[in-house]
Protein backbone atom coordinates (compact mmCIF):
# COMPACT_ATOMS: atom_id res chain seq x y z
CA UNK A 1 0.00 0.00 0.00
CA UNK A 2 2.84 2.38 0.89
CA UNK A 3 4.51 1.71 -2.48
CA UNK A 4 1.30 2.66 -4.32
CA UNK A 5 0.98 5.85 -2.25
CA UNK A 6 4.57 6.84 -3.01
CA UNK A 7 4.07 6.11 -6.72
CA UNK A 8 0.87 8.17 -6.84
CA UNK A 9 2.52 11.04 -4.99
CA UNK A 10 5.42 10.95 -7.47
CA UNK A 11 3.05 11.00 -10.42
CA UNK A 12 1.08 13.92 -9.01
CA UNK A 13 4.27 15.88 -8.36
CA UNK A 14 5.51 15.13 -11.90
CA UNK A 15 2.19 16.28 -13.35
CA UNK A 16 2.29 19.46 -11.30
CA UNK A 17 5.89 20.09 -12.39
CA UNK A 18 4.95 19.58 -16.05
CA UNK A 19 2.13 22.11 -15.72
CA UNK A 20 4.49 24.66 -14.16
CA UNK A 21 7.07 24.05 -16.89
CA UNK A 22 4.37 24.40 -19.53
CA UNK A 23 3.17 27.66 -18.03
CA UNK A 24 6.71 29.02 -17.95
CA UNK A 25 7.19 27.95 -21.59
CA UNK A 26 4.05 29.88 -22.46
CA UNK A 27 5.49 32.97 -20.78
CA UNK A 28 8.99 32.66 -22.25
CA UNK A 29 8.64 31.55 -25.87
CA UNK A 30 12.24 32.39 -26.74
CA UNK A 31 13.33 29.59 -24.41
CA UNK A 32 10.91 27.02 -25.82
CA UNK A 33 12.98 24.03 -27.01
CA UNK A 34 10.85 23.26 -30.06
CA UNK A 35 9.62 26.00 -32.36
CA UNK A 36 7.03 25.11 -34.95
CA UNK A 37 6.05 27.47 -37.72
CA UNK A 38 2.56 27.79 -39.15
CA UNK A 39 1.36 29.01 -42.53
CA UNK A 40 2.33 32.73 -42.76
CA UNK A 41 -0.85 33.55 -44.69
CA UNK A 42 -3.04 32.43 -41.78
CA UNK A 43 -4.88 35.32 -40.14
CA UNK A 44 -6.74 38.49 -40.98
CA UNK A 45 -3.78 40.91 -41.21
CA UNK A 46 -0.24 40.80 -42.63
CA UNK A 47 2.43 39.51 -40.29
CA UNK A 48 4.05 42.47 -38.52
CA UNK A 49 6.38 40.28 -36.49
CA UNK A 50 7.16 36.56 -36.40
CA UNK A 51 7.27 36.91 -32.61
CA UNK A 52 3.55 36.39 -32.09
CA UNK A 53 1.19 33.45 -32.01
CA UNK A 54 0.52 30.72 -29.47
CA UNK A 55 2.96 29.11 -27.06
CA UNK A 56 2.63 26.58 -24.26
CA UNK A 57 2.18 22.82 -24.03
CA UNK A 58 -0.14 19.87 -24.40
CA UNK A 59 -0.27 17.08 -21.85
CA UNK A 60 -2.18 13.81 -22.04
CA UNK A 61 -2.12 12.27 -18.59
CA UNK A 62 -2.18 8.57 -17.86
CA UNK A 63 -2.07 6.96 -21.30
CA UNK A 64 -1.11 3.81 -19.39
CA UNK A 65 -2.38 2.55 -16.02
CA UNK A 66 1.19 2.09 -14.75
CA UNK A 67 3.78 4.83 -14.37
CA UNK A 68 7.44 4.17 -13.76
CA UNK A 69 9.11 7.36 -12.44
CA UNK A 70 12.63 6.02 -13.15
CA UNK A 71 11.85 5.21 -16.78
CA UNK A 72 13.60 7.47 -19.32
CA UNK A 73 11.62 9.96 -21.37
CA UNK A 74 11.23 8.79 -24.98
CA UNK A 75 9.83 10.24 -28.18
CA UNK A 76 6.34 9.08 -29.09
CA UNK A 77 3.43 9.92 -31.36
CA UNK A 78 0.32 11.84 -30.48
CA UNK A 79 -2.39 14.02 -31.91
CA UNK A 80 -1.62 17.02 -34.09
CA UNK A 81 -2.41 20.60 -33.19
CA UNK A 82 -5.20 21.98 -35.37
CA UNK A 83 -5.53 25.77 -35.52
CA UNK A 84 -8.52 27.36 -37.24
CA UNK A 85 -8.87 31.10 -37.85
CA UNK A 86 -12.25 32.84 -37.56
CA UNK A 87 -12.15 33.03 -41.38
CA UNK A 88 -12.06 29.22 -41.49
CA UNK A 89 -8.42 28.80 -42.57
CA UNK A 90 -6.94 25.65 -41.02
CA UNK A 91 -3.35 24.81 -40.20
CA UNK A 92 -2.29 21.40 -38.86
CA UNK A 93 0.96 21.27 -36.88
CA UNK A 94 2.71 18.03 -35.91
CA UNK A 95 3.85 18.18 -32.30
CA UNK A 96 7.01 16.64 -30.84
CA UNK A 97 5.50 14.34 -28.21
CA UNK A 98 7.50 12.77 -25.37
CA UNK A 99 6.39 9.89 -23.15
CA UNK A 100 7.32 10.58 -19.53
CA UNK A 101 7.50 7.77 -16.93
CA UNK A 102 5.73 5.51 -19.40
CA UNK A 103 2.34 7.10 -18.80
CA UNK A 104 2.27 10.85 -19.56
CA UNK A 105 2.53 12.37 -23.05
CA UNK A 106 3.90 15.92 -23.24
CA UNK A 107 4.49 18.24 -26.20
CA UNK A 108 5.68 21.85 -26.28
CA UNK A 109 3.70 24.24 -28.48
CA UNK A 110 4.98 27.32 -30.26
CA UNK A 111 3.32 28.42 -33.47
CA UNK A 112 3.74 31.82 -35.11
CA UNK A 113 0.41 33.31 -36.22
CA UNK A 114 -0.95 36.61 -37.46
CA UNK A 115 -2.98 38.65 -34.97
CA UNK A 116 -6.56 37.44 -34.72
CA UNK A 117 -8.87 34.94 -33.06
CA UNK A 118 -8.20 31.22 -33.40
CA UNK A 119 -9.66 27.92 -32.32
CA UNK A 120 -6.98 25.50 -31.04
CA UNK A 121 -7.66 21.77 -30.96
CA UNK A 122 -5.94 18.37 -30.86
CA UNK A 123 -6.82 15.85 -33.55
CA UNK A 124 -7.43 13.03 -33.32
CA UNK A 125 -8.42 13.25 -29.66
CA UNK A 126 -10.49 10.25 -28.63
CA UNK A 127 -10.66 10.64 -24.85
CA UNK A 128 -13.89 11.75 -23.15
CA UNK A 129 -12.10 14.73 -21.60
CA UNK A 130 -11.31 16.07 -25.08
CA UNK A 131 -14.66 17.80 -24.70
CA UNK A 132 -12.72 20.72 -23.12
CA UNK A 133 -11.46 21.43 -26.65
CA UNK A 134 -11.30 23.52 -28.75
CA UNK A 135 -9.79 26.47 -26.92
CA UNK A 136 -10.33 30.00 -28.28
CA UNK A 137 -7.19 32.15 -28.35
CA UNK A 138 -6.77 35.81 -29.26
CA UNK A 139 -3.33 36.59 -30.71
CA UNK A 140 -2.14 40.17 -30.33
CA UNK A 141 0.73 41.76 -32.30
CA UNK A 142 4.21 40.88 -30.99
CA UNK A 143 2.81 38.59 -28.23
CA UNK A 144 2.67 34.83 -27.81
CA UNK A 145 -0.68 33.91 -26.24
CA UNK A 146 -0.41 31.08 -23.70
CA UNK A 147 -2.04 27.75 -24.58
CA UNK A 148 -2.03 24.95 -22.02
CA UNK A 149 -3.98 21.83 -22.98
CA UNK A 150 -4.34 19.10 -20.37
CA UNK A 151 -6.26 15.94 -21.21
CA UNK A 152 -7.05 13.41 -18.48
CA UNK A 153 -7.66 9.99 -20.03
CA UNK A 154 -9.63 8.58 -17.11
CA UNK A 155 -7.03 5.84 -16.58
CA UNK A 156 -5.67 5.92 -13.07
| Helix (H), strand (E), coil (C) string for the chain | CHHHHHHHHHHHHHHHHHHHHHHHHHHCHHHCCCCEECCCCCCCCCCCCCCCEEEEEEEEECCCCCCCCCCCCEEECCCEEEEEECCCCEEEECCCEEEECCCEEEEEEEEECCCEEEEEEEECCCCHHHHHCCEEEEECCCCEEEEEEEEECCCC
Q: Kindly report, residue by residue over 39-55, the tens digit of the pLDDT.
A: 444 444 444 456 899 99
For residues 76 and 37, the model is more confident at: 76
Q: Kindly report, residue by residue over 121-146, the tens digit of the pLDDT.
A: 999 988 888 888 999 999 999 999 99
Q: What percent of the chain has pLDDT over 70?
A: 67
Q: Is 13's pLDDT higher than 50?
A: no
The pTM of the full predicted model, rounded to 2 decimals, is 0.67
Q: Kindly report, residue by residue over 97-121, the tens digit of the pLDDT.
A: 999 999 999 999 999 999 999 999 9
Amino acid sequence: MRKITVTLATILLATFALEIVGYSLALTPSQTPTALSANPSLGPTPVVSRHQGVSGNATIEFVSPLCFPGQPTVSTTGPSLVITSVEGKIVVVSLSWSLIAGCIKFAPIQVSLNPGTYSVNLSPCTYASCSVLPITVNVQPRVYSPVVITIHTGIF
